[in-house]
Amino acid sequence: MSKFRVGIIGVGFIGTLKHLEGLAGNADLCDVVAICDLDLSRAEKARELFGSADSYVTTDYRDVLADDSIDVVYVCTWNVSHCEITCAALEAGKHVMCEKPMAITGEEARKMVETAKRTGKKLTIGYQNRLREDAQFVRGAVDAGELGEIYVAKAHALRRRGVPTWGVFTDKEKQGGGPLIDIGTHALDLALWYMGNYDVDSVTGSVYTKLRDKPQGNPGGGWDPATFSVEDSAFGYIRLKNGAAIFLEAAWALNVKDPREAAVTLIGTEGGAEIERGEDGYQATLNKVLADRMITSSPTASSPGSEGFTALGTAETRQWLEAIRNDTDPIVLPEQACVVTEILEAIYASAASGEPVRF
């Protein structure tokens, strides 16, 4: 069968290390034909490393969408442009992989879902953590009924000091928010996916900028507090319509001893599960009662940390392209990612108003 012809828009850190490397790891399925970035020299460098023989570069994403030979588009741009570019690509007849977060507002996310349905093109969002070995193990335990009814979940996205000082991460105008929309989105996606419940009743949130003026100790270097226009930490309480609850914690900088990122705690009627990140990567642990005794098991289901980022991108790319080829659902449905965005928006809104947001 012929290969998919792919165009990628945005080749910064995520676009390159995760997606271009992931596409290169699936060269049997695709060719990278078009590479778009506002920085032409960066696009040229990416083309030299990852482009097909007939590939080209551009600084205007519309050139990619106008290319009728392109089947699939990857959107890896500033958060505020995700909706605009994704919808335009779908309208142009392309299948779209959009990086997380899906959008910065629920209205935009819903527009993306509607556009995908109307055009008949596939849309997915880059929540690659679902594909980690530990995450898949816990999902298997959930599906097998080992946890029973999951009625409480904790979504962890905490860094002690880990403010990203490159790119536009601290620019609210371009990103729409800070750690909540950047790393909190991954943890929330995992919690909802495990619970299999996207029916939200209400959301209460608190957002803080307590450490904005304290750049000391950040491994990635300091930052200019004057240009740090997003939160440094945020917390949310999500109540689902069946009475279940999710606690979400997200921070780039927080005075805690044990940070946890892209991790969850699940509490069910038959057992519980923990995903934690240690020096050797992520580890899944199950706990339950057996023969009238409390037991805890830590199977070998683990995944590497940041060094496994490219491997996850490769796995994400394969399942995505195979979903297009076989006309099946990708692992991340746009309707699911839409609810994640709606909750994140509600946490910001609740924090601003001091009142819960009801769905």
Total tally of structural domains belonging to the chain: 2
Q: Are strands 95-98 and 123-125 parallel, antiparallel or unpaired?
A: parallel
The whole-number pLDDT of residue 246 equals 98
Distance set, CA 218 to CA 13, 159, 207, 215, 221 (Å): 19, 10, 20, 6, 5
Question: 112 and 150 share a domain?
Answer: no
Which pair of structure tokens corresponds to residue 78? 């500033």
Query: What is the strand order of the sheet 30-36 is part of?
Result: 56-58, 30-36, 4-9, 72-75, 95-98, 123-125
**Structural domain includes residue 324:** no
Residues of the chain predicted below pLDDT 50: none
**pTM for this predicted structure:** 0.95
Question: 121 and 140 share a domain?
Answer: no
Q: What is the pLDDT of residues 5-42, one digit of tens each?
A: 999 999 999 999 999 999 999 999 999 999 999 999 99
Question: 146 and 122 share a domain?
Answer: no
How far, in Å, CA of 22 to CA of 272, rounded?
Answer: 33
Q: What is the pLDDT of residues 215-226, one digit of tens each?
A: 998 988 888 898
Q: What is the pLDDT of residues 192-239, one digit of tens each?
A: 999 999 999 999 999 999 999 999 989 888 888 989 999 999 999 999
Question: 142 and 79 share a domain?
Answer: no
Using an 8 Å Cβ cutoff, are 113 and 88 in contact? no
List the domain range (segments joined by +) for residue 120: 4-127
The whole-number pLDDT of residue 303 equals 64
